[in-house]
């Protein structure tokens, strides 16, 4: 384990995953929904777990999300999540809703738990009905376990155009007890969450109520998942779901608990890690891009501007071409009409190279800038010189391969 710098003494768990916390098992099976791979996965808690989720803000919210909201809404508890890839079950009308309910029912029967303790998620092509016979057979074939290979099976099952699995795990002491948290996610294209085909699952053995877990999740989402963008498009199926089963044995966490902020930081670190992994794996991407904005009027302005920069197609294409065209960064800042900007006092750096200081251009060595921009991690820093607001956003460059992938996604 490696100690992370910063507050609360967070410890990164080597090969951390959704089975790192106590009392969580997972597994997957191949249902042959679209691709020849595992495509049905489950996460199961040994006991009913306090649960919370955030969902896409798309008007076309998919049936699985409606079913999941209903499940959590009954008692704030979940014991299982069932996920399929290959078909989003979105824009499928009443049949799609009934199919999502059927997925919940089949999973509850397999696990012998109440239906309202099961959440449902789907990802893949929009406007296609679920092949329910395949789904049913796949659910029955899922074998659960508590090992890393079981977590890897689940992570494989949720992937679509992703090129890699995305997972993490961290721990910290609360009330003298070791509390662990693990995460798994999928997402590569259609990523522009306000709360994309993005799904995130977080497990923890912390003892916390559903109400306060939801409060913590809402608090960290704006600074993590909502600060990534790949292509500016939001999907119908976005969801981030957290389950907390209390197996660690700490005292009940509330905002008045002396280590509440530590728990929030643990959740933030987990969500940030997953969010950055999604941004790095953007369809056709060659590099992870981080934009940090300081000196804004407030944090909200800083976050908006950072996301505008990292989401600009002109900025993204310049980064792909290793072109240090800082004018595109200025152009992106200028488009944020609901944030305060003093055009006469802005500073911009790409990596260690200062290019604009107090709105005055600086000379720099082009070859050094090109060399930096050819790396697989690029950082852009902007200082607005107005206030104390800070914000960070993550994204990727835009390559020819993005068009190739999305031109034939359905076929």
Q: Which residues are catalytic?
A: 197
Rounded Cα–Cα distance for residues 83 and 276 (Å): 22
d(CA 163, CA 407): 17
Dihedral pair phi/psi, residue 173, rounded to 5°: -90, 130
Across 56-176, the runs of DSSP E, i.e. the strands, are 77-87, 118-125, 166-174
What pairs with residue 391 in β-bridges?
Answer: 293
Chain-centroid distance of CA 144 in Å reads 24
Residue 365, judged by CB atoms within 10 A of its CB (0-12, 13-18, 19+), counts as exposed
Long-range contacts of 99-103 (CB under 8 A, 24+ apart): 99/63, 99/129, 99/130, 99/132, 99/135, 100/63, 100/64, 100/66, 100/67, 101/67, 102/132, 102/135, 102/136, 103/64, 103/67, 103/130, 103/135, 103/139
Alpha-carbon gap, residue 198 to 83, rounded angstroms = 12
Q: Taking the CB of residue 292, how many other CB atoms lie within 10 A of it?
A: 17
Q: Which two tokens stand for residue 3?
A: 């100690």
């Amino acid at each position: 384990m490696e100690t992370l710098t910063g507050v609360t003494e967070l410890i990164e768990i080597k090969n951390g995953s959704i089975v790192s916390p106590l009392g969580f098992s997972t597994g997957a099976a191949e249902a042959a929904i679209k691709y020849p791979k595992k495509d049905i996965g489950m996460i199961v808690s040994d006991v009913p777990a306090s649960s919370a989720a955030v969902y896409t803000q798309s008007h076309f919210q998919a049936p699985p999300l409606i079913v999941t909201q209903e499940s959590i809404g009954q008692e704030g508890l979940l014991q299982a999540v069932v996920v399929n890839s290959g078909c989003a079950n979105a824009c499928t009308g009443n049949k799609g809703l009934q199919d999502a309910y059927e997925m919940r029912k089949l999973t509850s029967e397999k696990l012998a738990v109440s239906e309202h303790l099961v959440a449902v998620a789907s990802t893949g092509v929009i406007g296609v009905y679920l092949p329910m016979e395949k789904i049913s057979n796949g659910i029955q074939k899922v074998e659960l376990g508590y090992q890393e290979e079981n977590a890897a099976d689940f992570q494989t099952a949720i992937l679509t155009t992703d090129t890699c699995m995305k997972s993490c795990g961290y721990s910290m002491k609360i009330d003298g007890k070791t509390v662990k948290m693990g995460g798994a996610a999928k997402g590569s294209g259609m990523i522009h969450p306000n709360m994309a085909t993005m799904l995130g699952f977080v497990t923890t053995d912390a003892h916390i109520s559903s109400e306060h877990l939801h409060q913590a999740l809402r608090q960290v989402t704006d600074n993590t998942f909502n600060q990534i963008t790949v292509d500016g498009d939001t999907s119908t199926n976005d969801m981030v779901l957290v389950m907390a089963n209390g197996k660690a044995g700490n005292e009940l966490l509330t905002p008045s608990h002396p280590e509440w902020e530590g728990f929030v930081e643990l959740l933030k670190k987990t969500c940030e890690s997953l969010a950055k992994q999604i941004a790095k794996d953007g369809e056709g991407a060659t590099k992870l891009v981080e934009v940090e904005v300081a000196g804004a009027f407030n944090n909200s302005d800083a976050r908006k501007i950072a996301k505008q920069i990292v989401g600009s197609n002109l900025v993204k294409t310049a980064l792909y071409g290793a072109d240090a065209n800082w004018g595109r960064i200025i152009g992106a800042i200028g488009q944020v009409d609901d944030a305060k900007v003093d055009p006469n006092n802005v500073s911009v750096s790409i990596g260690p190279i200062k290019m604009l200081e107090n709105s005055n251009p600086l000379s720099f060595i082009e070859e050094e800038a090109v060399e930096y921009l050819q790396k697989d991690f690029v950082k852009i820093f902007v200082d607005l010189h107005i206030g104390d607001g800070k914000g960070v956003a993550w994204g990727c460059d835009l390559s020819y391969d993005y068009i190739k992938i999305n031109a034939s996604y359905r076929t």
